[in-house]
Amino acid sequence: MVLEIPTYLPTYLDVAAAKRRLQGHANVTPLLRHERLDEISGVHLYLKNETAQKSGAFKYRGAYSRLSLLNEAERKGGVVAFSSGNHAQGIAIAAKELGIAATIIMPSTAPLKKKQGTLSHGAKIVEYDPSTTDRAKLAADIAKQKNATLVPPFDDKYVIAGQGTCAVELLEQCVERGVKLDALITPVGGGGLCAGINLAFEHLSPHTKTYGGEPVGYDDHAKSLRAGKRITNAPAPLSLCDALMAPTPGKITFEINRRRLSGIFPMTDEQCLQAMALAKETLDITLEPGGAIALAAALSRPKRINSGSNIVVILSGGNVDAEVFKCAKANLNT
């Protein structure tokens, strides 16, 4: 059966083009291993460490991919983005590198580290109350007022393509090691990283299954996959996984992910804190809760993953406030 791809969706060719744009700008992040993590998970675990990316998260890839395509007039108008923090920092860094003014709409509840990181790169922050304000509408209104370009965090063709370069890179690293991947687990919020990975894997590694990790209470992708259409979650208590609290999958991202996403593993904040502690203890990597959710899923030994499989997990970000990280270390000690 041949899948028909709507013309507005990105393809692998867009991912390949984004990889060329990012050459010399994005960091090549390492693929790591540790015997103890293999023992706990029961699989051969490979960890793609995107905390080593500019801004401490994979989001720089999509941000630079999109901003580098702006023409001269669009660059003069600046950009507006909405984000809980990692997309914000990615946009701020890419905008600074390209000489573009950036305004970021951030929730008042965003981690202080992410706010400080965004400001440190010269972006302006407009805060909002996430319980009463539609961030996308607020961002669109401000972009219109400023005659600026709106750059969403995940539902954008060129942002998705940029995130997909992470998958191309890790597959090249696997080829160098002679590793054939059975599956990959990625954090899922709005679905941009997952969509980019799926575009790359469709073309380069179609045998590899992809899975997602979502916070309990923010399992909109899991519900949408079961329903066969986009489902919006009811309001839920805040999760420590602030980067993964999108209420509904993106329109573009879901159309891509529904084609080959094999399942979603719901994870608790406690499981993410445990994964954070283990990542620090074994590899000296500092993760944020959302950045640790794929590792948490692998360590929980889901039944769909066969023992002894070759599995990659994406460590998507490491921008965490000190108080939250203390909770992770305390969680391991208990």
By annotation, the residues acting in catalysis are 59, 84
d(CA 181, CA 313): 11
Q: Which residues contact 327 (CB under 8 A, 6 or more apart)?
A: 240, 273
311: three-class secondary structure by DSSP: strand
Cα 18 to the center of its chain, rounded Å: 16
Are the C-beta atoms of residues 313 and 197 closer than 8 Å to each other?
no
Would you say how long the chain is, in residues? 334
State in Å, rounded, how far the first CA of the chain is from the last one.
51
Are the C-beta atoms of residues 26 and 165 closer than 8 Å to each other?
yes
310: three-class secondary structure by DSSP: strand
Pair of tokens at residue 311 = 């599995």
* Degrees, nearest 5: CA angle 218-278-324: 55
Residue 333 CB: number of other CB atoms within 10 A? 7
Are the C-beta atoms of residues 79 and 148 closer than 8 Å to each other?
yes
Could you identify the residue written with the tokens 């080829």?
A: 175
Using a 10 angstrom Cβ sphere, with 0-12 exposed, 13-18 middle and 19 or more buried, the burial of residue 53 is buried
Per-residue DSSP letters for 118-133?
Answer: HHHTT-EEEEE-TTT-
**Beta pairing partners, 258:** none
